[in-house]
Amino acid sequence: MLISDLTEAEIIARIQSRLQPPPDWLLVGIGDDAAVVEPERNRLEVLTVDALVEGIHFDRRFTPPDAIGHRALAVNLSDLAAMGAEPRLALLSLALPGALACADFDAMIAGLAALAAAHRLHVIGGNLTESPGPLVLDVMVAGTVKPRQALLRRGARPGDAVYVTGTVGSAAAGLEMLKSSTTEVTDTLRGHVSLCVRRYLYPEPRVRTGLLLARNRAATACMDLSDGLADGARQIAAASGVGMRIDAAALPIEDEARRWFDAHGGDASTSAITGGDDYELMFTVRPNRTGRLAAALRHGGGPITKVGVCTEGPDVTLVVGARDTPMPRGYGHFR
Amino acid sequence: MLISDLTEAEIIARIQSRLQPPPDWLLVGIGDDAAVVEPERNRLEVLTVDALVEGIHFDRRFTPPDAIGHRALAVNLSDLAAMGAEPRLALLSLALPGALACADFDAMIAGLAALAAAHRLHVIGGNLTESPGPLVLDVMVAGTVKPRQALLRRGARPGDAVYVTGTVGSAAAGLEMLKSSTTEVTDTLRGHVSLCVRRYLYPEPRVRTGLLLARNRAATACMDLSDGLADGARQIAAASGVGMRIDAAALPIEDEARRWFDAHGGDASTSAITGGDDYELMFTVRPNRTGRLAAALRHGGGPITKVGVCTEGPDVTLVVGARDTPMPRGYGHFR
């Protein structure tokens, strides 16, 4: 059965059946002209939107539908994480090709709904339309943060240490593996044999780390690495008016990713930091706040690695051996 | 110059240059991982999202770029109007074909920004991506409403009068005119010779009417007629558990639209109520509140017309002459 065999009401019912029961702050949910929500007291609101477009951000030939749904929400949760915000609600705008199989649609929604439930985020509404071309998932999320606790990009100062969560380059390696693999290999990879492929398909946004950093005021600046570490370093440096030196030898690169990059003729460090899709956080910490950082992450903040230091600037460099080299350009949309 | 000649930062700068200065409740705007907003005190929040997809919702051959931008926001403002909410902010997610001319992009943003300014709504952020196919504009808006003042679809009762704002069918007639016109005629129409074409290209969402109805508690139910009056009547009836009788003779149909429908072999009433894109409001009023309604709309609420009455139900009918006929099916996406 194809999505074009269903009415709009039937598609909405299929989505609703996969959502958690509505929270008490949702006064009017799906089914009216708009949703009505009671704001959380004494909190600021953090809002962002991100789109996944077929052919640009994913390839349906090797991205299982549940991963498409998972990633569409994960990229947004990662933005909330980077702000230190607690996820609250999402609006879902879908442009669906008529030939999309209903089973694939259901799996896509299930992937998104599972991640939403894990982060206690509620889908309060959205929009459905046909697409004459690609499948497009546009997700708007809102979260909350206490006044003066939002993590911005602009607070880094010379001397601050630069940290990243998790590993860098895993998702980029995973994507390359998927692109180069035959159908059979892909099926094996879907069984999560490859850590890198799993990191690409099912990124885990660092929501908890962001929350802990915000509450503890341990970080001076923070952003997510959706477009890779090289891009993140440049962005924080530019927003904060500092330079940055990143130590290639300190980069947390998964063994599997390093082997893949080495085997495919690339420099592992460069490949790892120019590849996007990691959805890890980069953040900066004043030297006298290292204790505060340790305290912040004691309760399940996940692995972090110090990868560099902020300088007077303005150069952003990658230190390879003892030599400063210009930070490579990261992935960019458009020109 | 084409959009693919610009960097993402350059495109964002072009958007920002057309926006109003940021309001004081916007603590962090465009340029970080997400926007940070101070909620309005003692208000509920009303959120909605709507997409315009090229080839589905508009045809670039006869829709000027400023009209595309205008309509992308208007459809969302109309949803806020239907809830009685005051517009506050928008997030803008754009999927842009690389071959889009920069001049057209600028005009599109100018059209959207002008309507935003007219309604004191601020664009606080968004997302940009390439599109491998159609131009897609996904707009999320949020507004505010006082507790217990939101206009819902579900409050209509038997005996309530049914009203619509403005006219019905004008936009549908305008769209047909555009579709059937030659290039030369289109150019003339762009000069707003045709009221119907103008209604299609530049719909004016009934934000003020919605606000006045909400504040005065004059309406028992309300929705917008984005998918036509026939659809609106069915939706309010279903949500409220009532029936509805709409009087074909009472429908406010623009002379120009009526002439067009008559000349093109359709029944004017049926054409007017099954066509979408009017973005007028339909609302219901208890008989003893007619005075309250008049008071509500004294201050610039715009023209309204009584078109029918709610019944015990469940039938939704169009009264033609003295005969009840089943309400025609409206426009629907998908099946």
Question: For chain B, how many structural domains are there in total?
Answer: 2
Q: Is residue A151 part of a domain?
A: no
The rounded distance, in Å, linking the Cα atoms of B297 and B289 is 13
The reported pTM is: 0.95
The rounded distance, in Å, linking the Cα atoms of A39 and B44 is 7
* Gap from A260 CA to chain B (nearest CA, Å): 29
Pairing of strands A35-37, A26-28: antiparallel
A39 and B44 within 8 Å at the Cβ level: the answer is yes
Q: What angle do CA B284, B288, B289 make, to 5 degrees?
A: 55
Give contacts of A128 with chain B, Cβ < 8 Å.
Answer: 333-334
**Residue A12 exposed, middle or buried by CB count within 10 Å (0-12, 13-18, 19+):** middle
Nearest of A89, A103, A99 to residue A139 by alpha carbon: A89
CATH number where B71 lies: 3.30.1330.10
Residues B198-209: pLDDT tens digits? 999 999 999 999
Residues A156-192: pLDDT tens digits? 999 999 999 999 999 999 999 998 875 444 555 555 5
Which residue of A76, A124, A138, A277 to mutate against B (max B Cβ within 10 Å)? Answer: A138
The two tokens of residue B70 are: 């205008």
Do A115 and A180 have their domain in common? Answer: no
Do A130 and A12 have their domain in common? Answer: yes
Please give the pLDDT value at position A49. Answer: 98
The rounded distance, in Å, linking the Cα atoms of A214 and A220 is 10
Under DSSP, the state recorded for A36 is E
Do A171 and A304 have their domain in common? Answer: yes
Give contacts of A60 with chain B, Cβ < 8 Å.
Answer: none
Please give the pLDDT value at position B233. Answer: 97
C-alpha distances (whole Å) from A281 to each of A161, A228, B95 are: 14, 10, 26
Do A192 and A322 have their domain in common? Answer: yes
Do B172 and B318 have their domain in common? Answer: yes
CATH number where A301 lies: 3.90.650.10
Do A171 and A82 have their domain in common? Answer: no
Q: What is the pLDDT along chain B (335 residues), one digit of tens a residue?
A: 999 999 999 999 999 999 999 999 999 999 999 999 999 999 999 999 999 999 999 999 999 999 999 999 999 999 999 999 999 999 999 999 999 999 999 999 999 999 999 999 999 999 999 999 999 999 999 999 999 999 999 999 999 999 999 999 999 999 999 988 754 445 555 555 689 999 999 999 999 999 999 999 989 999 999 999 999 999 999 999 999 999 999 999 999 999 999 998 788 999 999 988 999 999 999 999 988 888 888 877 789 999 999 999 899 999 998 899 999 986 555 65
Provide Rg for chain B, Cα atoms: 20
B33 and A335 within 8 Å at the Cβ level: the answer is no
The two tokens of residue B91 are: 């997030």
Do B170 and B318 have their domain in common? Answer: yes
| Phi (first) and psi of residue A79, to 5 degrees | -65, -40
At which of B99, B114, B145 does a domain end? B145
**Chain B residue with minimum CA distance to A49:** B126
- Please, what sign has the CA dihedral across residues A51, A56, A57, A61? positive
At which of A145, A173, A203 does a domain end? A145
Query: Which residue type does B281 have?
Result: L
B36 and A83 within 8 Å at the Cβ level: the answer is yes
Minimal Cβ distance to A133: which of B93, B133, B239: B133
- Can you tell me whether residue B329 is helix, strand or coil? coil
Do B136 and B166 have their domain in common? Answer: no
Question: Which residues constitute the domain of residue B94?
Answer: 3-145
Give A193's pLDDT tier (boundaries 50, 70, 90).
low
Q: Is residue B334 part of a domain?
A: no
B34 and A125 within 8 Å at the Cβ level: the answer is no
The rounded distance, in Å, linking the Cα atoms of B104 and B314 is 48
A95 and B34 within 8 Å at the Cβ level: the answer is no
Do B257 and B312 have their domain in common? Answer: yes
A8 and B152 within 8 Å at the Cβ level: the answer is no
Q: Is residue B140 part of a domain?
A: yes
- Give helix A255-263 / helix A170-180 axis angle, nearest 10°: 50
Do A94 and A138 have their domain in common? Answer: yes
